Amino acid sequence: MKNFERVILPNGVRVILVPNAQSLATTVAVLVEAGSKYETKEINGISHFLEHMCFKGTTKRPRPIDIAGELDGLGAEYNASTGHEYTTYYAKVKNESFHQALDIVTDLYLHPTFDSGEIEKEKGVIIEEINMYEDLPQRRVNDLFFELVYGDQPAGWNIAGEKETVKKFTREDFLKYRAAHYLPQATTVVIAGGFDAAHAKRAVEAHFGMLARGEKGTKPKVVETQDRPRELVKFKESDQTHLVMGFRAFDLRDERRYALELLADILGGGMGSRLFQRVREELGAAYYVRAGADLFSDHGLIEMSAGVTHDKLRDVVGAGLEEFLRFTKEKVSEEDLDRAKRHVTGQFVLSLETSDTQGYYYGGQEVMGMPLQSPEEYVAKLQAVTAEEIQGVARNLFKNDALNLALIGPYKDASFLDILKV
């Protein structure tokens, strides 16, 4: 069942409309193909910094308080986020405030002023954000895992950048980067919720129709090189060891992603998962333990993560490797497969209750260049996965020359390569 409409404006802006008459709220989101994978080493972090600066003043709303005050006055939920491959700006409001929300989000996206004084002040904010994540090992270890797997290329760099690079950014850097990436053919506008579709189309065209095309900057293809297990151990005095361990996988367009998603759910998708039972219930070694797949336009990962007691770290790593390997040796039971399908589809359907998640579901597909798939089509693909397909994916991926372990804990000159093998 098609419950969305896709429109392409003459200048290339893609518009996704997801109307829902029962929704009490409408979400306006603009997604642009600009993220850390589009950066060079010299400007690493600029995609994220630019996102911040769009909230610091526009030609129509010159002060940060003009933007925030107006959105607060609408009772809006609003923010922005930057990832490896795209940046998102959004506001979620009650239905009758849709046009005001569209005007504000469009304004900060299309008309930021990049005031030099605000840039200098925001450098301190960005640096403190980097410091904050450094003090959150549960979050920081994920950055280390990407650094370990991909090394010194954009896929392995920190999205927020490095402090020394952030300090050097100038207004000219932002203008140049924006001119190369914030272009109509790289822009997707998503509106989801209780709005009038005909009015919305006219409003979006009025706002975005005059945006001029340009030559879009590209991102380098990810280089995959590995021939043996790798580790990255970062010393930090802590009460827990935080780890991420996993394998290289495939990209988002690979049809095996449905089997991999179910595998990840069986492995560490909830309290009934194998890792939760092994690591938390049997070993009593962790409070959080989970698994998931991170798939991108030209690469991917399947990994587990956990925060564990120091003296059981080797036991947890060993248990995790055993559970990965188990998928290669035996097919999952029909009972486990059925439970995973019900769990994943149930969580997915629940997530679509709100206008923002409905919008992101379609917008994420569009900005990544995927054919738009309805929720029903997605569920059907999951339901069609077989135990043989899951085992086939595991046998293809879970090999020593794709295995990686990153961890943060009180370890100096320590190595775990002696047990890092499948």
Helix ranges (DSSP H) in 151-268? 163-168, 171-181, 197-208, 257-268
Phi, psi of 27 (to 5 degrees): -110, 130
Q: Would you kindly state where each structural domain of the chain is located, as residue ranges?
A: 5-208, 230-409
Q: Is residue 77 scored above 60 in pLDDT?
A: yes
263-280 pLDDT per residue, tens: 999 999 999 999 999 999
What pLDDT is attached to residue 2? 66
Decide which of 1.20.970.10, 1.10.3720.10, 2.40.30.10, 3.30.830.10 is the CATH code for 5-208.
Answer: 3.30.830.10
**Same fold for the pair 5-208 and 230-409:** yes
pLDDT tens figures, 128-182: 999 999 999 999 999 999 999 999 999 999 999 999 999 999 999 999 999 999 9
What is the mean pLDDT of the segment spanning 306-333?
98
Q: What is the pLDDT of residues 229-254, one digit of tens each?
A: 999 999 999 999 999 999 999 999 99
Return the DSSP state at 408. E
Could you give the percent of the chain with pLDDT greater than 90? 99
Report whether 81 contacts 36 (CB < 8 A): no
* Predicted pLDDT of residue 337: 98
- Residues pairing with 300 in the sheet: 295
For every residue of 92-135, DSSP letters joined together read: EEEGGGHHHHHHHHHHHHH-B---HHHHHHHHHHHHHHHHHHHT
Determine the Cα angle at 29 with ends 24 and 35, to 5°. 150
Is residue 328 predicted with pLDDT exceeding 80? yes
Q: Which of 33, 39, 42, 51 is catalytic?
A: 51
Q: What is the pLDDT of residue 276?
A: 98
Catalytic, 255? Answer no
Mean pLDDT across the stretch 326-334?
A: 98
Topology annotation, domain 230-409? Cytochrome Bc1 Complex; Chain A, domain 1 (3.30.830)
Contact residues for 272 (Cβ-Cβ < 8 A; gap 6+): 339, 343
Q: How far apart are CA 159 and CA 130, in angstroms?
A: 10
Cα–Cα separations (whole angstroms), residue 53 to 67, 110, 113, 124: 12, 12, 8, 13
- Give the pLDDT of residue 48: 98
> Are the C-beta atoms of residues 243 and 141 closer than 8 Å to each other?
yes
| Res 139: pLDDT | 96
List, for residues 89-100, the tens digit of each pLDDT value: 999 999 999 999
- Give pLDDT tens digits for 19-44: 999 999 999 999 999 999 999 999 99
Asked if residues 7 and 201 have their Cβ atoms less than 8 Å apart, the reply is yes
pLDDT in tens, 169-228: 999 999 999 999 999 999 999 999 999 999 999 999 999 999 999 999 999 999 999 999
* 17 band by pLDDT with thresholds 50, 70 and 90: very high
- Residue 180 has a pLDDT of 97
Answer for the pair 310, 410: CB distance below 8 angstroms, yes or no.
yes
Q: What pLDDT is recorded for position 27?
A: 98
Note the pLDDT tens digit of each residue in 359-414: 999 999 999 999 999 999 999 999 999 999 999 999 999 999 999 999 999 999 99
pLDDT number for residue 3:
86
**pLDDT higher than threshold 60 for residue 301:** yes
Mean pLDDT of all residues belonging to the chain: 97
DSSP E strand stretches across 209-279: 230-235, 241-248
